[in-house]
A and B are shown apart, each in its own frame.
Chain A
Amino acid sequence: MTGAPAPEGRRSEALKERYIVDGDDFQAAGSASSAMKKLLRSLGVPPEAIRRAAICMYEGEINMVIHANGGEAEVAFDGETITMTLADSGPGIPDPELALREGWSTATDAIRDLGFGAGMGLPNMKRNSDEMTIDSTAGQGTTITMTVRV
């Protein structure tokens, strides 16, 4: 089920929550960012940091749905930094530099008809995070890690 916290086996220093992002389910896209917002709010994280993190998570989720048939999202919070890790086993991003350019998109027309695929996802994620790394191998998948400092 999308958005439901997956059971956590072992716990490290930071508080972690995992969400399964269901591929091709536009209705559920956004539920991980919604659940994360709720979590961060319950911990007393300031609204501005929640806003930035939620944009990162939301755009990342949408990307996983559009391009990678879903994946897994994890949020970790240690009291100072929100770390979001989004991992999928989709087609990968051959040229991250190019993908970060505003307006660049490989989304299909069908996706664009739904109002997505404007090429603003990755740039938005970059803009709203303090750090972002893209680890991608063509044909194997992508892992994006973003941090937002509180």
Chain B
Amino acid sequence: MRRGKAKIISERCIDCGRCVLACPYHAKRAVCDPLSMMERFAYTVALPAPSLYGQFRNLDDIGIVLGGLLEMGFNGVYEVARAAEEMSAHALVKHGIARKGTGYGERTFPANSEIFPLISTACPACVRLICQRFPRLIPHLAPEIAPVELAALAARAEASRKTGLPPGRIGVFFITPCPAKMTAAHFPLGLSEPVLDGAFSMAEIYVKLLPAMKRAAQNGAAFQTAGLTGVGWAVSSGESAALKSMKTIAADEIPNVIAVLEAIEDGKLPEVGFVELNACTQGCVGGCLTVENPYVSKMRIRELMKKLPDTLLSRLRYEEPGTPPTRDLPLEYEPADVLDSDMSAAIEKRRRMEALLDRLPGLDCASCGAPSCHALAEDVVRGYAQEADCVFLTRESMDEGGYLPPPFRPSVSKC
């Protein structure tokens, strides 16, 4: 906090969206693409995130949501859940868990292999957290692109084939539950070119989608929709649930994610094959652009899953899932908490920081605007704040200068 406003240090922001949810005055909002962006394209495709399905009460047919999106003005829809399902099928085959025609087989990953556990890249906030704070775990990140990116590629190709339009005239838009995926739509992690044309806030779409869904329900158009494997990705542990015979961990919320990453880094989890991480409470259903409470959405997603077949791909091409493309750029260590790029200057700053910390009251009162005395000390040496921001230090220096009357001390009389 500086001069009454919450300031985000952009180099350290991983786009988790907690600030949006935390501020009681709604001072922070996520910047999303305007719906008018659709006008720029001859043909538009909506890519609904699986978490969208958890926003509606008594929804028993995903087709109504898809129909509603068409009613709203999109020319086509492509479920991200479908791409997620493909990713799950691919992972099963790739890691030797499912062998052709044999269903689920044995866990075959080498137990001491350097890259296990594999870490999911579905949550871009967690990927950025790893790039900033856990550089040693970067090789553990699954090399494939994210489901939403796979969906975008497939949707664009499908629309282009169907309409004969060049891919550039087709607008592919993600309906996002969070700002992290909003950012990733324009600046994808590990991809040289964005594959989406934009992303719309789920909350904004919701208002327009409700009446459109009513119309769609009356029209009664039928859609083939993704199965429960893909829809399950909306909630934490949905992604790992598909990897049935592997030991998996699903952690949600940043402090828990950090704890799990620390444990992996310390080598405490050698038996784990796959780690699913979500920045938001209960997974994507907890994103700050969703409408419904994460626990309510989770219940609804689970209810929907009860009505869905295991996976669409089991009928279509479970045995030969397409190979999702891999990232074309390496993910790199982006140290965000280094005090100075020059090591001796960093040591000097740290020394100054500790000297200042000795003088600060250690109350973490946050009156200065930093969340703790430690954070203020760091802000001071980084040049974001000054010592005088601490009310205690200021009082002390004014006392020393004789500017203040002596502190008021009530006298206690004994009776």
Residue numbers of A with Cβ under 8 A of B are: 5, 7-8, 11, 15, 30, 33-34, 37-39, 41-45, 47-48, 50-51, 54-55, 58, 77, 79
Contact = CB atoms under 8 A, between A and B. Distances in A.
Contact of B266 (A11, A42, A54, A77): A54
B136 A42 contact: no
Contact of A47 (B333, B337, B343, B347): B333
B335 A44 contact: yes
A15 B266 contact: no
A42 B265 contact: no
A34 B259 CA distance: 10
A41 B346 contact: no
B335 A15 contact: no
Interface of B: 133, 135-136, 262, 265-267, 333, 335, 337-344, 346-347, 350-351, 354, 358
A47 B344 CA distance: 17
Contacts of A11: 351
Given A11-B351, A15-B347, A79-B343, A41 B335 contact: yes
17 contacts: A15-B347, A15-B350, A15-B351, A30-B266, A34-B262, A41-B335, A42-B338, A42-B346, A43-B347, A44-B338, A44-B341, A44-B342, A47-B135, A48-B136, A51-B136, A54-B265, A55-B266
A63 to B, nearest CB: 14
Contacts of B354: 5, 8
A79 B347 contact: yes
A8 B359 CA distance: 12
A43 B337 CA distance: 8
Contacts of A7: 358
A55 B133 CA distance: 17
Nearest to B138: A47
A83 to B, nearest CB: 14
The 8 A-B pairs at the shortest CB distance, nearest first, are namely: A47-B135, A44-B338, A43-B346, A44-B343, A15-B347, A42-B337, A42-B339, A51-B136
A11 B333 CA distance: 32
Given A42-B339, A43-B338, A33 B346 contact: no
B94 to A, nearest CB: 27
A44 B135 CA distance: 12
Nearest to B341: A44
B133 A47 contact: no
Given A50-B136, A77-B347, 15 more contacts: A8-B354, A15-B347, A15-B351, A30-B262, A30-B266, A33-B266, A39-B350, A41-B133, A41-B338, A42-B338, A42-B339, A44-B343, A55-B266, A55-B267, A79-B344
Contacts of B265: 37, 51, 54
Contacts of A48: 136
A66 to B, nearest CB: 15
B381 to A, nearest CB: 10
A7 B360 CA distance: 12
A111 B2 CA distance: 49
A43 B347 CA distance: 6
